[in-house]
Structure 1
């Protein structure tokens, strides 16, 4: 009888662990897809509106440094470009990192 309970508990644990892992994967996929959609929208707005602007083009090196260092290096040209973008497109709700990545795609 004890062996049957042990096997039942092990089977129940395996099923529960599998369901938990599947839920985690589905939740992670949903979050990643939502972030990607936000990033894609930001990139589309920035790249289509500002692709020929000198302030934005001059900020590409600073944007690369910003992205590569996870925001530790913030160059003057990048700050100028971020201010310009936010002034020209106040409806755009994007983080500095999203805007820096969008600048890099131009």
Structure 2
């Protein structure tokens, strides 16, 4: 009787291993795809704002904001954040992420 169960157990383990690998691959593809979309959106944002005087004027405020972990907010940064969100309404970035993007310009 045990001799007949061994092939079924082996087949079950193989199927379970394949399902786990497929699930891991699908999850990894989804996470990496999301990161790629975020990087693309950020690079599109930075390239379009690189010549924007309002955003460039906010660099000092953005540096203070990032250094204080979001505690110190300047008027130039507030204006730039409003401007960026008006230009890119689909962008779901936080204020801290946008301030870091301003510093990267």
- Given the two structures, how large is their TM-score scaled by the length of structure 1? 0.63
Does the 8 A contact of 2:65 with 2:96 survive in 1? no
Higher normalized contact order (CA 8 Å, seq sep 6+, divided by chain length): 1
> How many equivalent pairs are there?
97
**Structure 2 unaligned runs (5+)?**
none
- CA separation of 1:40 and 1:51: change in aligned 2, threshold 3 A: same
**Structure 1 unaligned runs (5+)?**
67-72
Partner of 1:100: 97
Pairwise CA RMSD of aligned residues?
3.2
Q: Distance in 2 between matches of 1:33 and 1:98?
A: 23
- Counterpart mapping for 1:82-101 below 5 A: 82-87=81-86, 89-90=87-88, 92-97=89-94, 100=97
User: Structure 1: which 4+ aligned runs deviate by more than 4 Å?
Assistant: 63-66
- Given the two structures, how large is their TM-score scaled by the length of structure 2? 0.64
Secondary structure of 1:25's match? helix
